[in-house]
């Protein structure tokens, strides 16, 4: 049986699912945490129209062919123990789930537990897939970095270090939330003039950032131990959509000399389904060659087999009046995972070059992913060029930055000719007024 085969589960009988289930076929099988239907927090796998309750599968003995450590980890309420088992365990569990859910296998389909273990995907509550110990966000899209830099440094948009290392900042794990959590407009220090004085006000320039996130797994490296770029590819369990909500006016005042702080720490949203790195392997694209004049990365960041992911990304905005009238959200920009300059593997390798310890459940963000075109800019700061080119929504209102009541929706699909489409689902958040 191949990963692109069909399943007996409703909504996944074709290779990639249909309708609402598009992209949730047998080739995907993303993992996440959920609760509902009278059941407490537990792990599940998305397949077609359904969620497979992994706790029930372990309890019933359906997964008895797997090593006991894997079964115990899959029976937990978050992925952390499973993440810590490493690549071989992930591959074994994925292969067994594909076998059980494939159309030619009746072991689960014909078992009494099947109706109880498969629940409708609609109406349950999705949770954070793992306990996130640390979160680091990078700045790895050259188009985004060049656009933002040119707004403030027109003659020298990229800082001297940008093409030598993956630039990042340490985010706030305690405010990472699952898709659907409300986004409260933050308060903070803002200024009218570049040199102050500041006042405490609600954020006026609230923005989204369209990103990919990577969930780290494997055994934690010891403090002082570096993770090489090749090993890093084995340490990344899977990927999510990530919205690094940003308060641009707070950021402008505070970011020098140590970078983002309260402008970023108030909330970060991620999609609840983790699309496994193994599922995404057929969608890898070799790193683009550096052009003449670009520096070659230092040796610890080099790997001939390094790659980016061909993931198509889009962001849509819906105002409160649009939702009241049933007007669909408006797609405002599209970009791709191949628009990154640095790979996720390089980000992880650089993160540990100093000996920093990375643990199962740590989260890396790519930074805003923007393409070369004006309609491929991954945040409003770029899309409206600091508010000088506002966009018009279907309700006739303009947006320079986000208003209260706006909902931002990120979507992503892995797409390649001859392969099934893999869905990342959605990452949503509605902006609420300042508390």
Q: Which residue has the tokens 């803002």?
A: 190
Domain that holds residue 233: 135-432
CA distances from 129 to 5, 19, 38, 426 (A): 26, 24, 19, 14
What are the tens digits of pLDDT across the range 164-204?
Answer: 999 999 999 999 999 999 999 999 999 999 999 999 999 99
| Rg of the chain over all Cα atoms, to the nearest angstrom | 22
Q: Using CA of residue 41, residue 47, residue 49, residue 54, what is the dihedral sign? A: negative
Question: Domain check: are 252 and 277 in the same one?
Answer: yes
| Domain-embedded: residue 411 | yes
Q: Of 106, 125, 144, at which residue does a domain stop?
A: 125
Question: Domain check: are 416 and 283 in the same one?
Answer: yes
> Cβ distance 206 to 220 under 8 Å?
no
Question: Domain check: are 345 and 395 in the same one?
Answer: yes
| Domain-embedded: residue 11 | no
| Domain-embedded: residue 130 | no
Question: Domain check: are 317 and 401 in the same one?
Answer: yes
Question: Domain check: are 106 and 252 in the same one?
Answer: no
| Domain-embedded: residue 362 | yes
Q: What is the pLDDT of residue 4?
A: 55
Question: Domain check: are 173 and 65 in the same one?
Answer: no
- Which residues in the chain show pLDDT less than 70? 1-4, 15-20
DSSP 320-362: HHHHHTTPPPEEEEEEEGGG-SS-HHHHHHHHTTT-----TT-
| Letter string b/e over residues 42-78, b meaning 16 or more CB atoms within 10 A of that residue's CB | bbbbbbbbbbbbbbbbbebebbeebeeebbebbbbbb
DSSP state, residue 221: P
> Cβ distance 178 to 243 under 8 Å?
no
CATH number of 183's domain: 3.90.850.10
SS3 label, residue 406: coil
Question: Domain check: are 117 and 142 in the same one?
Answer: no
From the CB of residue 86, how many other CB atoms can be counted at a distance below 10 Å? Answer: 16
Q: Using CA of residue 128, residue 272, residue 350, residue 225, what is the dihedral sign? A: positive
| Domain-embedded: residue 12 | no
Number of domains comprising the chain: 2
Task: Pick the closest to residue 425 from 239, 272, 314, 213 (CA basis).
Answer: 272
What is the rounded distance in angstroms from the CA atom of residue 26 to the CA atom of residue 17? Answer: 9
Question: Domain check: are 119 and 140 in the same one?
Answer: no
CATH number of 92's domain: 2.30.30.230
Question: Domain check: are 272 and 189 in the same one?
Answer: yes
Taking the CA of residue 161 as centre, how many other CA atoms within 13 Å lie in the half-sphere pointing to its CB?
5
| Domain-embedded: residue 262 | yes
Is the link from the previous residue into 264 a cis peptide, with omega within 30 of 0? Answer: no
What is the rounded distance in angstroms from the CA atom of residue 204 to the CA atom of residue 431? Answer: 12
Question: Which residues carry out catalysis?
Answer: 144
Question: Domain check: are 104 and 247 in the same one?
Answer: no
Question: Domain check: are 164 and 110 in the same one?
Answer: no
Q: What is the pTM of this model?
A: 0.97
| Domain-embedded: residue 5 | no
What is the rounded distance in angstroms from the CA atom of residue 221 to the CA atom of residue 356? Answer: 8
Question: Domain check: are 108 and 158 in the same one?
Answer: no
What is the rounded distance in angstroms from the CA atom of residue 409 to the CA atom of residue 430? Answer: 9
What is the rounded distance in angstroms from the CA atom of residue 313 to the CA atom of residue 409? Answer: 11
């Amino acid at each position: 049986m191949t990963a692109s085969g069909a399943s007996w589960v409703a909504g996944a009988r074709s290779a990639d699912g249909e309708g609402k289930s598009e992209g949730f076929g047998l080739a995907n099988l993303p993992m996440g945490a959920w609760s509902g239907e009278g059941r407490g927090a537990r792990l599940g796998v998305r397949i077609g129209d359904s969620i497979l309750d992994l706790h029930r599968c372990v309890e019933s003995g359906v997964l008895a062919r797997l090593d006991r450590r894997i079964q115990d980890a899959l029976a937990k309420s978050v992925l952390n123990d499973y993440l810590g088992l490493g690549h071989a365990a992930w591959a074994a569990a994925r292969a067994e789930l594909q076998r059980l859910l494939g159309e030619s296998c009746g072991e689960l389909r014909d078992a009494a537990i099947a109706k109880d273990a498969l629940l409708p995907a609609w109406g349950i509550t999705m949770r954070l897939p793992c306990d996130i110990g640390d979160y680091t966000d990078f700045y790895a899209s050259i188009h985004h970095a060049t656009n933002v830099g040119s707004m403030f440094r027109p003659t020298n948009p990229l800082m001297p270090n940008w093409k030598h290392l993956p630039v990042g900042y340490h985010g706030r794990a305690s405010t990472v939330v699952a898709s659907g959590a409300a986004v409260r407009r933050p308060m903070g220090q803002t200024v009218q003039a570049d040199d102050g004085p500041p006042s405490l006000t609600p954020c006026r320039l609230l923005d989204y950032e369209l990103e990919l996130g990577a969930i780290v797994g494997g055994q934690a490296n010891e403090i002082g131990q570096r993770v090489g770029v090749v090993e890093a590819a084995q340490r990344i369990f899977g990927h999510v959509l990530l919205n690094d909500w940003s308060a641009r006016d707070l950021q402008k005042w505070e970011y020098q000399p140590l970078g983002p702080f309260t402008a970023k720490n108030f909330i970060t949203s991620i999609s609840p389904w983790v699309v496994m790195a193994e599922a995404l392997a057929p969608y890898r694209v070799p790193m683009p060659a550096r052009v003449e004049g670009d520096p070659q990365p230092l040796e610890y960041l080099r790997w001939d087999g390094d790659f980016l992911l061909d993931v198509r990304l889009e962001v849509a905005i819906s105002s409160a009046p649009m939702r009241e009238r049933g007007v669909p959200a408006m797609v405002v920009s599209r970009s791709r995972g191949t628009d990154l300059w640095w790979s996720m593997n390089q980000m992880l390798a650089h993160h540990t070059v100093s000996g920093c310890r990375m643990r199962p459940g740590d989260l890396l963000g790519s930074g805003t992913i923007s393409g070369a075109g004006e309609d491929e800019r991954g945040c409003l700061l770029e899309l409206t060029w600091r508010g000088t080119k506002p966009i018009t929504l279907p309700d006739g209102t303009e947006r320079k930055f986000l208003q209260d009541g706006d909902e931002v929706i990120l979507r992503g699909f892995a797409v390649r000719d001859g392969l099934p489409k893999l869905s990342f689902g959605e990452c949503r958040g509605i902006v609420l007024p300042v508390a």
